Structure 1
């Protein structure tokens, strides 16, 4: 088996007198998409900080592969709207270098046409793709994405998760994806880890969705959302979610592309 990128081994962390993480273990491997789910306040972002080396556990340890390169896409990134900052300049500030590399990163995330656009003029979905391009500029071995679909409509979320799968397939990088909605990432992940200060359950999306620990956290009323409708992709979504071309929907779950 390929050497793990990051191993979190029985990690615990207390902040402000509150136990945020308790006895958490996690292994992130090359070429695998691991999704970390849990309710708000469950410690997901804190665990991401441990993985990234931005925090240290009080107990346990975090082991990173020597020479590991990390790419990070934060949940929130505030850019001063008064700054006349173009997308290209924004990327240059994160990774100074040749223009071609920035153009290639934007091309990969489907927003090359926005290179000279002012950052303050971007929509939510456009900004998320620019942030992903920014993370990819580092040519990371491991991509860590904290709620990457926030502020993006459903069609845009589907397109973004599909893009992450393509990045994984093309580069072989590992991906740690943080989300509070399992049903949004069902078709796009290899492993799910359900966190509520400790690891409640883990495994394939289907196994986790049936686990009593998951159902206690999220309730069974939302389980119908896991059988998301499937449609044939004989059309394309643009970045705003508009559909181009014909479309055929059916109401049955049979392993295709999922939307809620």
Structure 2
């Protein structure tokens, strides 16, 4: 069963081609991470999958009734706006206190209910966003660089929480990340994006793909071996895709 699938999608911003001929699918229960250099279209791809940007070509199919939780890369809250964490969780629809407290606990943000959103640290803010995203018990949890600004121990702890949430809900997790070391231990599948999909597969397979080495070099090989994922015994050949210039 596929939760969301993209077939040959393209996205343009004016004359700039941001994405070209992107095809992918997300299945229940898997953790999929999108990696790529700055400007490679990672955030745009997430927004295309949820229908937030228009497509220049292709189509996106979502399972009927699909519940999506979304953690954006950035969310600016006016520091003069008096809104507590608890009130923030009531947007756009009120939730029961028991559900709000349970979501905060699962996201690692217990005890922050009465704090002002503008007074939270970066890590606390991200955990509150995660709590809000899991309140509807999504089928698909999408996160755009959720550990931006966190140190490596903090990022590792965040990824462990995502795995626990996935295990409890049975949801899929689709995220963008720059944490190449940690992400290899937390992902079932990795998609390497640079305007098009360069390669995809399990972490061990993708890290050996020529397209990965062209983008990220070979300096992380030891770390990738160290963080070998428990699912890597099912490795299959990485899928290689045509360069963007060939899809023009």
Distance in 2 (CA, whole Å) between partners of 1:80 and 1:215 is 41
Note if contact 2:40-2:195 (Cα within 8 Å) is conserved in structure 1: yes
Q: How does 1:54-69 map to 2 (within 5 A)?
A: 54-69=52-67
Q: How does 1:159-170 map to 2 (within 5 A)?
A: 159-170=157-168
CA-CA distance at 1:227 after TM superposition: 4.2
TM-score normalised according to structure 2 size: 0.89
Note if contact 2:185-2:228 (Cα within 8 Å) is conserved in structure 1: no
CA-CA distance at 1:128 after TM superposition: 0.8
Q: Deviations over 1:18-75 (max 9, x none)?
A: 1111110110111011101100100001110111111232111100000111110000
The corresponding residue for 1:31 is: 29
The corresponding residue for 2:245 is: none
The corresponding residue for 1:7 is: 5
Q: How does 1:109-128 map to 2 (within 5 A)?
A: 109-128=107-126
Unaligned runs of 5+ in 2: 231-248
Moved runs in structure 1, 4+ residues, more than 4 A?
Answer: 253-256
Do residues 211 (structure 1) and 206 (structure 2) align?
A: no
Note if contact 2:6-2:59 (Cα within 8 Å) is conserved in structure 1: yes
The corresponding residue for 1:243 is: none
Q: How does 1:191-206 map to 2 (within 5 A)?
A: 191-206=189-204
The corresponding residue for 1:49 is: 47
Root-mean-square deviation (CA, aligned residues, Å) is: 1.5
Note if contact 1:95-1:138 (Cα within 8 Å) is conserved in structure 2: no
The corresponding residue for 1:221 is: 219
Select the residue among 177, 187, 190 that pairs with 1:189: 187
Distance in 1 (CA, whole Å) between partners of 2:163 and 2:205 is 20
The corresponding residue for 1:98 is: 96
Select the residue among 60, 75, 96 that pairs with 1:77: 75
